[in-house]
A and B are shown apart, each in its own frame.
Chain A
Amino acid sequence: MSFNNLDQLYRTVIMDHYKNPRNKGTLEDGSVTIDMNNPTCGDRIHLTLQVSEGIVDNAKFDGEGCSISMSSASMMTQAVKGKTVDEALKLSTIFSDMMLGKEYDDSIDLGDIEALSGVAKFPARIKCATLAWKAMEKGVDKEA
């Protein structure tokens, strides 16, 4: 049996983030906490963000979910750390466009996040991938 179709979704870098999540845990002095879940499937994320003077200084996540939701959370925390709130939101917009299969701004280096672009072809899994980003958006919004 060929795994070609599956490989479009489950790229090596995704499985690496799933197996070795970056920024897993909770920030004790996290200035903002967001809990979000995906009511249709039970995925759950607990995100803590430290934001000061418009910059995301630190981000950690905890939660339960499939490989796509958890690797996406790992990548998201990696991507937004050290960015300004505006940059983080810009990344979120790019990610959202990518998931919807739209043209997205590729002038910014997306790093590992790009590996998730295959999710767009699996409509049932898009919500898995966007959960962490929605939590982040809500978090910086709380802070603003």
Chain B
Amino acid sequence: MISKDIRSYFPVLNQEVNGHPLVYLDSAATSQKPIQVIEALSKYYSFDNSNVHRGVHTLGNRATEGYEGAREKVRNFISAKSTEEIIFMRGTTTAINTVAQSYGGANVQEGDEIIITYMEHHSNIIPWQQLAKQKGAVLKYVDLEEDGTLSLEKVRETITDRTKIVSIMYVSNVLGTMNPIKEITQIAHEHGAIMVVDGAQAAPHMRIDVQDLDCDFFAFSGHKMCGPTGIGVLYGKKELLDQMEPVEFGGEMIDFVGLYDSTWKELPWKFEGGTPIIAGAVGLAAAIDFLEEIGLDEIEKHEHQLAEYAMERMSEIEGLSIYGPKDPGKRAGIVTFNLNDVHPHDVATVLDMNGIAVRAGHHCAQPLMKWLQVTATARASFYVYNSEEDIDRLVTGLRTAKEYFNDVF
């Protein structure tokens, strides 16, 4: 287990909410930020702020070094071959939309297939729905096993030679399921399709090696991994990115601009139109340093332990159902549940009154809610700063909710 002392690095956690010390169990929505990240942002704005890639002056150089240094940090973090393959974007959503519009726009034709699964986040559904509609392509869903996992057999049955794109999340933001991305990538490639990975819930929690996965694109967001909001990454294989057209046009991404025609910069900058997210990248680099200092393997282990403890403790509550794999070894630190007939909003309000922050709703996964045959669920998600004590508080809070609503019914 990661030492509880780590909590002291997160100023936001040091407060009372509704008269109780805060227990933050909503990191799958966004993580809290350590002081190292907050200070990196503050230092950047206090000392180095300038625009990048153009300054002859000192601050311009410092800002450029900070921004490009962050790119190298990200490259190393996900084990990409080259920084040309690391594109800074607003977040996972923008990254997936870019792949859909640029790669998909050029390579998907009428009757071609795009494959996703029932567990996807809306950000990995709607860009493909739109592309399918534009192109007259077919959007197909891989069905899930009863425990909310993916079977390679069903993946094999769904992917055909008409499949152009397979896009699947690495870790489910609802079920916590960790998907066999490496094996799925291999199946996709056997059929000549490319593999896109929604890594939003994976990058914060486990070691990522895009070369080992052999995926073609990998998208993730900074804010779920201790970084600031507004910065994310699209990784793409160089040979694919080279062929692709930018989606946004304007300053920063151009090489030569004529009156009626222009040319683009080299990779990765041709995809980064406009003044880039400089401070965001600097903050993300500080977040990567922070996570690597702890160790991604340590983080993954910590979360498995918390998930296991949470599932064990929560199962003691009569009438509480947990969704997703029963085997804690198959899931990340996410536990989604419902408490009898008490609506998740009501559960979340009772918990909030006790200083405990959980998410309630459909978690941007309406097709999955339909698959689970529920309209909404409550979700507790854990990160480096959570401990077994937080889970004890959650369990006490859930008992309170149950007691309260049993009383009024």
Contact = CB atoms under 8 A, between A and B. Distances in A.
Interface string B349-373: 1101110000011100010010000
Contacts of A9: 349
A124 B376 contact: no
B409 A19 contact: yes
Nearest to B354: A1
Interface string A27-43: 00000000000001111
Interface string A79-91: 0000000000000
A110 B355 CA distance: 33
A6 interface: yes
Interface stretch (B62-70, B125-133, B173-181, B338-346): B338-346
B369 to A, nearest CB: 7
Interface in A33-91: 40-44, 64-69
B82 to A, nearest CB: 40
A24 interface: no
B362 A41 contact: yes
Contact of A128 (B345, B353, B354, B409): B345
B366 A42 contact: yes
B343 A12 contact: no
A5 B353 CA distance: 7
Contacts of A1: 354, 400
Contacts of B353: 5-6
Please tell me the size bucket of the interface on B.
20 to 34
Contacts of B352: 124
Contact of A41 (B18, B345, B408, B409): B345
A66 B350 CA distance: 13
Contacts of A3: 404
Given A15-B409, A66-B343, A122 B349 contact: yes
A96 B83 CA distance: 53
Interface in A103-134: 122, 124-125, 128
Interface string B325-352: 0000000000000000001111001101
Given A1-B400, A41-B361, A66 B18 contact: no
A10 B350 CA distance: 10
A126 to B, nearest CB: 12
B15 to A, nearest CB: 17
A69 B375 CA distance: 14
Contacts of A12: 408
Interface in B360-409: 360-362, 366, 369, 375-376, 400, 404, 408-409
Contacts of B408: 10, 12, 15, 19
A6 B376 contact: no
A63 to B, nearest CB: 9
B349 A124 contact: yes
A125 B18 contact: no
B318 to A, nearest CB: 19
Contacts of A40: 361
Contacts of B400: 1
B400 to A, nearest CB: 6
Interface centre among B18, B354, B404, B408 (most CB of A within 10 A): B408
Given A41-B362, A128-B345, A6 B350 contact: yes
A125 B345 contact: yes
A12 B376 CA distance: 24
Contacts of A19: 408-409
Contacts of A68: 345-346
Contacts of A122: 349
Given A1-B400, A65-B343, A67-B346, A42 B409 contact: no
18 contacts: A3-B404, A5-B18, A6-B350, A9-B349, A15-B408, A41-B345, A41-B361, A42-B369, A42-B375, A42-B376, A43-B375, A64-B375, A65-B375, A66-B345, A66-B346, A67-B343, A67-B345, A125-B345
Given A41-B345, A66-B343, A125-B345, 13 more contacts: A1-B354, A1-B400, A6-B353, A6-B404, A10-B404, A10-B408, A41-B362, A43-B345, A43-B376, A65-B345, A67-B343, A69-B345, A128-B345
